[in-house]
């Protein structure tokens, strides 16, 4: 299968991107690839991140700050909207606050972008939460969407509004991202099972698994995710949603086996299953191939070895 090609260094020349949440895990990978493709990039986030580049400027604050947002998007060609004010657990605990900032904030961003002459918005949605319990695996974008978490509801509602606004002139595309992993993910956050597993295995800390470990997830390397976003900026696809995952389901128990193959011997503690964990979440990536010309390139085994080595280097 041929490798997916990123845009060349000159393809982003004279174009400016605004990335909300560029200081985060996916955001840092996206900044790197946009800069490598020749874009001028603005990062709107409370966190600047570790990247320094002559074509990168940092705008400190939240995308919900309308004055700051309006200033940051002036002259921008494409907005990559990655920022989220709540993690999944926080959204469940505070659904009103999550809806107010995530849904209304996204609508305000898109409406302002349209008025400001921004050509395109690429939105980071969640392939693991918008579908809910699956009746078809791998799940295509046409699958019914019945999210069972507040986080998934907010993501889905934002998708609907962006699709609606697309018909009014501005181009929008929502990428439903699976479970991203890779070096640089913040282990202190309440997400990222694979990153947590690898870190605990290296540190000889027990790994907690909710349920019996048979739940399946779709894990995708953060560099592959970032590449999909860069390709989405130049795609002719608009007013729709695209899954971004590996297309392969991996159980948590199998993750443990891969970690053991990488040279670790983790202790595992199985706990009661959580009500909001769907049993299987695996994305079909056929539409991504067709609309973006994108396929994942990093396999899970080598990705886990990379993470184990990165954590070992910190000891």
The catalytic residue positions are: 151
CB 114 within 8 A of CB 168: yes
Cα angle, residue 295 at apex, residues 290 and 297 outer, rounded to 5°: 170
Alpha carbons 276 and 129: distance in angstroms, whole number: 10
Query: Terminus-to-terminus CA distance in the chain, angstroms?
Result: 38
Q: Listing from the earlier edge strand, what are the strands of the sheet with 171-177?
A: 56-60, 40-45, 16-20, 78-81, 120-126, 171-177, 240-244
Alpha carbons 124 and 162: distance in angstroms, whole number: 12
CB 181 within 8 A of CB 249: no
Rounded to the nearest 10 degrees, the angle between the axes of helix 222-234 and helix 25-36 is 50
């Amino acid at each position: 299968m041929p490798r997916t090609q990123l845009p060349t260094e000159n393809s982003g020349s004279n174009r400016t991107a605004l990335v909300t949440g560029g200081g985060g895990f996916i955001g840092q990978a996206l900044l790197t690839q946009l800069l490598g493709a020749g874009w001028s990039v603005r990062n709107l986030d409370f966190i600047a991140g570790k990247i320094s580049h002559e074509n990168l400027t940092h705008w400190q604050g939240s995308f919900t700050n309308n004055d700051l947002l309006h200033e940051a998007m002036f002259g921008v060609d494409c907005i990559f909207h990655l920022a989220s004010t709540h993690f999944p657990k926080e959204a469940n605990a505070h659904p009103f606050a999550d809806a107010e900032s995530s849904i209304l904030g996204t609508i305000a961003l898109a409406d302002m972008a349209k008025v400001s002459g921004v050509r395109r918005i690429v939105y980071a949605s969640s392939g693991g939460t918008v579908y809910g319990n699956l009746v078809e695996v791998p799940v295509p974008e046409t699958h019914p969407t019945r999210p069972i978490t507040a986080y998934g509801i907010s993501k889905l509602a934002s998708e609907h509004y962006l699709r609606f606004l697309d018909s009014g002139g501005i181009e929008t595309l929502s990428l439903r991202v699976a479970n991203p992993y890779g070096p640089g993910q913040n282990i202190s956050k309440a997400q990222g099972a694979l990153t947590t597993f690898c870190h605990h295995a290296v540190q000889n800390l027990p790994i907690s698994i909710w349920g019996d470990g048979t739940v399946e997830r779709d894990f995708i390397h953060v560099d592959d995710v970032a590449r999909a976003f860069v390709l989405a900026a130049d795609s002719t696809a608009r007013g729709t949603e695209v899954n971004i995952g590996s297309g392969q389901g991996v159980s948590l128990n199998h993750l443990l086996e891969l970690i053991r193959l990488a040279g670790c011997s983790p202790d595992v503690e199985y706990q009661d299953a959580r009500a909001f964990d769907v049993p299987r979440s695996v994305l079909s990536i056929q539409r991504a191939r067709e609309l973006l010309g994108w396929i994942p390139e990093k396999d899970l085994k080598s990705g886990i070895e990379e993470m184990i080595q990165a954590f070992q280097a910190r000891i």
